[in-house]
A and B are shown apart, each in its own frame.
Chain A
Amino acid sequence: MPKLDVDLVEIKGAACCGFPLSSIDNLTWTYLTARNLALCEDQHLDMLPLCNGCHLSMCEVKHALQANPALKEKVNTVLASEDLRYKGTARVRHIIEVLHDDIGPERIQKAISKPLGGLKFAAHYGCHALRPSELGRPDDSRNPKKLETLIGVLGARWDIYPERLDCCGAGIAVSAGESSLKIAGGKLEKLRTAGFDGLVTTCPFCMRMYDARQEAIGALLGGATSFPVFYYTQLLGLCMGVDEASLGLHLNMSPVGEVIQKFQARTS
């Protein structure tokens, strides 16, 4: 990202965004989210939550606190114990917005030295990057295009597919584990037979389902599910000439090696 003039700074003192606790207690969720936003305000930062769930959490709570001054005051009374105050001024950006709207496809195209050639990828946005639409999500809830545009800029092919807007299943990973794996596995299997070289996402929770849980999916569905899954930023880095280790490609649990070999064969 620094090569694209985006400075990334870690928020000092950050804790959980609170979203996983929204099922347990709404006020605790609101407090934890507002706390992270207040830290950003205090440190004069815009926020870039990498996870779709964290991003939605920030947007929902910002919206709720703006609509409900009494709730805002209640949260601020407690935040004062950590010398924090939520004002609502920190900007919250999604990685798709930063790449597509702030940096823009043209600058990305200029920054890449090794295009992806004829490889064909499927984009997975993830639920909370698209819905609920009334809260202003990074892209259109029914016909998003930004992630496909970003894939296209790297010189790769893409195509839309019927399961494109579907959930990764992570939302029920703790309550109905097998069903959540079946939901993720169903999509991977369709993509494999549809002739895609890989799946591309930006959300770490979706990544966990499709990449890290792939072995468990294979064990459950009685066959080796074998489909490469990448973060968009990993592909972007490859095209910009960043070395594989820095991109953490050895940490992807899905079989990404073959795609990388194809890429290297084309660009060397």
Chain B
Amino acid sequence: MVVRSSDLDLNFIEELSKIGGETVKSCFQCGTCTGTCPSGRLTSLRTRMIIRKTILGLKKEVLSSPALWECMICFKCHEQCPRGVNIPTVMLALRNLAIREGVTPPEGYLKMARSVFEEGAVQPPQEVVTRDFESFSRTSLDLPSPSKPADFGKFSRALGEVGFRKIIGG
């Protein structure tokens, strides 16, 4: 792969550091992260490569990469990293930046976000069909409704204040 200086954003790593990704600077590219990654065995995620490209400043390429969303945040690489890079936190910070740059995340993330905004939870309670094909709901099981914010107007206004509505485009 050819890297052109015009593709590099030298401010990228500083931008990332401001939102919690500063440990990325310590990486010396040993590849232990990729070796321990249970997702990378099955998906396109190559952790070491994402870290390398981030340090180089290949902002556009990193932030538009679908692999960014294939990290399970399982912290296996983080436990093994000899340089103390908090890789899951770096991944989350990169995802946050990607959203701010207008990247559309996998649909499931937006669905969960909208549901939290509207229902207070990532999804409303659902009926279950058991292995004997019987249907049960919380009501039929005599379970109370799950707790919810007492005043939904105040709750969603507060989420608006932390900038959430703008981010999910609600």
Contacts and interface: CB of A to CB of B under 8 A. Distances in A.
Contact of A25 (B99, B132, B148): B99
Interface centre among B20, B74, B109, B161 (most CB of A within 10 A): B74
Contact of B130 (A28, A175, A251): A251
A27 B168 contact: no
Interface residues on B, range: 35 or more
A250 B132 contact: yes
Contact of B38 (A132, A167, A174): A167
A136 interface: no
B58 interface: no
Contacts of B12: none
A24 B99 contact: yes
A174 B108 contact: yes
Interface in A172-195: 172-176, 179-180, 182-183
B69 A22 contact: no
A183 B42 contact: yes
A109 interface: no
B113 A24 contact: yes
**Interface SS of chain A:** loop
Given A25-B167, A132-B75, A166-B38, A78 B161 contact: yes
Given A14-B147, A28-B167, A176 B70 contact: yes
Contacts of A21: 112-113, 116, 164
10 contacts: A15-B116, A21-B112, A24-B168, A132-B78, A141-B79, A166-B38, A170-B72, A171-B74, A172-B70, A174-B107
Interface of A: 10-16, 18, 20-28, 31-32, 35, 78-79, 81-82, 127-128, 131-133, 141-142, 165-167, 169-176, 179-180, 182-183, 248, 250-255
Interface of B: 19-20, 38-39, 42-43, 66, 69-76, 78-79, 86, 88, 92-93, 95-96, 99, 105-109, 111-113, 116, 120-122, 128, 130-132, 134, 136, 141, 144, 146-151, 154-155, 157-159, 161-164, 167-168
